[in-house]
Structure 1
């Protein structure tokens, strides 16, 4: 072999070795990246509090399932001299609605966007159950979850003021949402299974206030979230209607940017059906690190519940954790006919309790 031939052979050998080495290093880097990706949510005061709030959501075996009280239950408590001393009424409707529609006697009014301000929180009792009141329950759910985040025992009037007395919001919004529960062409998966009404869902922990040394951080996050919870945004008060969601899912680009989270019980998810492509993580277990770690940080999370008053409580926590999230307004009851659909209509039709006009 000539000297030139030997040189070419050596050069080829060196290039081959370098190529193999490059491929090995590239594969190693790719392997390292995949193995360092964690499905566990980071352990912080915020994620710990989220887990606590989710886990202590009142179960179906509670007097107030899902942290919600009906108008009939509230009326009975207010008429009981002893039990009426165990609750406090918090009305966060627009001031104009109080002036024109009145309020439940004994209510304290605080502007919703100011509810997590220190001066507002100072007005609220920690030794009573706070009943949060909004026009239809679609914003009281977020007030309720914010207060629970800060250690207040809070529940919400399930269908809002529209279930207490005849109001334009009750007639035009709540009823309209329920009546819009049609079979959208978007696929719904019906898996059968145990009827939802036969399942019992329980809280998995006891509700407590957050640690004092973490309270300031939690309060600041809550204050920022509530102050930005307004009507004038793409999804007013962090709610998306069934029609708008259908349009979004029908657009291939927007569908790719959307993540559907169904927080109902597995029994309801299976027996009542669910929107195709949803991920079912039951409400009370959502805060567990392995579940919270599944949520995407670069997509719009649409939270789906039975009626929207439940899922809005989840949306509030996710927003405080920094996720982009909205609530499917009226939940699956606004997507297809469910037992909850008729319950909403019945609640609005039965609204007849007294109000104070001063």
Structure 2
């Protein structure tokens, strides 16, 4: 190839390279941008949950009114023994334990679920069944009363167990067989609750936080706090008794108004104040709990009195069990005083005693009667009259009052001790409580054991008290409880057992101690024949209470009779009336109770 052609080809190559480089120059239009991906579709936001409906007052009011207007005969309660029987039989039911979690964990009724008292109850409403009865228990029955009312208003068939776990369930013989520690978990929601009712009940239980640590914690008030408010004349409270009218008339808390609990009671709610705290009380606090729930849901500021008036079954809870007074309809007289004064006003010809031989004849004949041995447990265990129950001299007598048959059943209660003297006191207190009590002359040691063949009527098998068979007036129960608990205050003193020994009385007389007042209750003729130095006379018998006003309340009254038994009765009544009375051990002393008694101990009588 010639030189010219070669140069031409080189030139073309150079030109091609120049154009090629120019095509890459940044001065040219930018290259097409890559396609951008469509942005990922953002997830749809969930619509906010529907706000809970406002409480419809009409719906809540209708539920409350229905609760009381359709009240069943069982007043939404079940007896503790009946409940345990249902558990034992495996009946189809739902059990709700509203005690705190630690108590539940320690042991609860078989199959029970735990919703501790408070918001947990409202939170689990929709998990409770409506096709079976829900039995609710707490500690004493009182907060369960509130819970049962709220559950029923939510459409749940709920009943509370009488006296709760501590005072009801745990008192049933053999209850331990139906206790477990396995913890049950609530399942999913199974019940539709009216939104308005749900919101009202949620507010109800959340409101407990607002009163925690105050006088009205748990929508309750203590006995002591109520007493303080009454004594201070606090007009911010309105006291409401929901016991029966008869119970109210027999004795009620000072200032209390009456609206008996029961079907239709909601008709009286309109008369209650909404500008005061309504303190509701019943017998043990359970029906008051129901009432408080209804009232609070209607907008009243209501609380219940802890333990109610108080009964033997829930002692020491309750107004009278704590020693606070009741007043009758006039608000002045004392029911204990009335009963004590009536003791001698209505004294029978047998002066509430039976001869030891006659008593054993009744035992042999199998007569319908109740026998109470008040000796100590060891003496009872060694041998007692057939069928006798043992309530050792002391608080046990008061504790078992409600388990002893009362008038007008017609069943006499025969009481014996060692010598007849403390049985005299027991008889007086039992009769004040409405029990037809009679003491066995000279007790076991000096009476029963002196009857030929008495051994044939003894046994060693213990007889156990059963369930309560009677209702004791709360004020009287409290007074008698105080009476027997007071024995601890004089134990080991000159006046132990509300008695004084022959030697101690002689020493006081010789020392001319003016702290005592010696009272002979023997007959006028016996007094004239010979009496203890310084003794005054008030013969024992029907109507003797008319002379009580002449007795001093600033001295210890030493009462004596023949063997100590009628003096025991007299001391029992005088002490219930506020006198500091004791009886002389063995009385003046008779051949039948030697060596007990003043004369049997060799001390002088004067004319």
- TM-score range, shorter-chain basis? 0.5 to 0.7
**Does residue 121 in structure 1 map to residue 125 in structure 2?**
yes
* CA spacing shift, 1:55–1:267, aligned 2, 3 Å: farther
1:241 aligns with 2:225: no
The question of 1:265 aligning with 2:244 is answered yes
Match of 2:296 in 1: 319
Write the distance in 2 (CA, Å) between the matches of 1:247 and 1:307.
Answer: 20
Given the alignment, which residue of 59, 81, 106 partners 1:45? Answer: 59
The question of whether the paired residues in 2 share the 8 Å contact of 1:132 and 1:156 is answered with yes
Give the distance between the partners of 1:310 and 1:344, measured in 2 at CA.
Answer: 23
Offset, 1:49: 2.1
Query: Highest relative contact order (Cα 8 Å, sep 6+), 1 or 2?
Result: 1
- After superposition, where does 1:103-142 map in structure 2 within 5 Å? 103-117=108-122, 120-142=124-146
Structure with greater proportional helix content = 1
Distance 1:104 1:350 in 2: 22
Q: 1:102 to 1:68 in 2, by over 3 A?
A: same
Answering whether residue 254 of structure 2 is matched by residue 276 of structure 1, we say yes
**8 Å contact from structure 1 (residues 88, 130) kept in 2:** yes
The correspondence for 2:307, drawn from 310, 314, 330, is 330
Given that 1:92 and 1:111 are in contact with CA atoms closer than 8 Å, whether structure 2 keeps it comes out as yes
SS of the residue corresponding to residue 89 of structure 1 reads: strand
Structure having the higher Rg = 2
For the residues of structure 1 that align with 2:399 and 2:60, how far apart are their CA atoms?
37
Cα 1:251–1:68 shift into 2, 3 Å: same
1:78 aligns with 2:87: yes
* Farther off after superposition, 325-334 or 48-57: 48-57
Counting only pairs closer than 5 Å after superposition, residues 148-163 of structure 1 correspond to structure 2 as 148-162=152-166, 163=168
Q: Distance in 2 between matches of 1:48 and 1:239?
A: 25
Could you tell me whether the CA contact under 8 Å between 2:279 and 2:302 is conserved in 1? yes
Deviates more, 1:107-116 or 1:215-224: 107-116
Match of 1:89 in 2: 95
- Asked if the contact 2:94/2:129 (under 8 Å) is kept, the reply is yes
> Are residues 1:220 and 2:204 paired?
no
1:250 equivalent among 217, 228, 231: 231
Residue by residue, what CA displacement relative to the aligned partner does 1:135-171 show, whole Å, maximum 9, x if unpaired?
22121111111101111111111111113238xxxxx
1:165 paired residue number: 170
Structure 2 residue corresponding to 1:293, chosen from 264, 267, 270: 270
Q: CA distance change for structure 1 residues 278 and 94 in 2, over 3 Å: closer, same or farther?
A: same
Question: TM-score with structure 1 length normalisation?
Answer: 0.62
- The CA distance in 2 between the partners of 1:344 and 1:298, in whole Å, is 41
**Matched pairs, number:** 244
Check whether the contact 1:159–1:344 (CA below 8 A) recurs between aligned residues.
Answer: no
- Residues 107-131 of structure 1, C-alpha deviations (whole Å, 9 max, x = no match): 011233234535x122211011111
Instruction: Determine whether 1:309 maps to 2:290.
Output: no
Give the match's secondary structure for 1:139.
helix
CA distance in 1, matches of 2:129, 2:146: 18
Kindly tell me: are residues 325 and 266 of structure 1, through their superposed partners in 2, closer, same or farther at Cα, counting changes over 3 Å? same
Tell me, yes or no, if the aligned pair for 1:58 and 1:67 is still in contact at 8 Å: yes
Q: Secondary structure at the match of 1:275?
A: coil
Alignment partner of 1:69 is 2:73: no
Q: Check the 8 A contact 2:115/2:121 in 1, yes or no.
A: no
Please report the RMSD computed on the Cα atoms of aligned residues, expressed in angstroms. Answer: 2.8
Secondary structure in structure 2 of the residue aligned to 1:293 = helix
Q: What is the rounded CA distance, in whole Å, between the counterparts of 1:314 and 1:121 in structure 2?
A: 20
2:215, 2:225 within 8 Å by CA — same for their partners in 1?
A: no
Determine which of 71, 74, 82 is the counterpart of 1:57.
71
> Against the structure 1 CA distance between its residues 344 and 165, is the aligned structure 2 distance closer, same or farther, given a 3 Å change threshold?
farther
| Number of the residue aligned with 1:145 | 149
Distance 1:251 1:222, change over 3 A: same
- The answer as to whether partners of 2:230 and 2:254 remain within 8 angstroms in 1 is no
Q: Distance in 1 between matches of 2:279 and 2:159?
A: 22
TM-aligned CA distance change 1:132 to 1:121, over 3 Å? same
- Structure 2: where are the runs of 5+ without partners? 1-56, 172-191, 311-317, 327-397, 404-464, 468-607
Question: Unmatched 5+ residue regions in structure 1?
Answer: 1-42, 60-64, 167-211, 352-358
8 A Cα contact 1:315 1:327, kept in partner: yes
Specify whether residues 221 and 242 from structure 1 end up closer, same or farther in structure 2 by C-alpha distance, changes over 3 A only. Answer: same
Match of residue 229 from structure 1: 208
Do the aligned partners of 2:283 and 2:307 also contact (CA within 8 Å) in 1?
A: yes
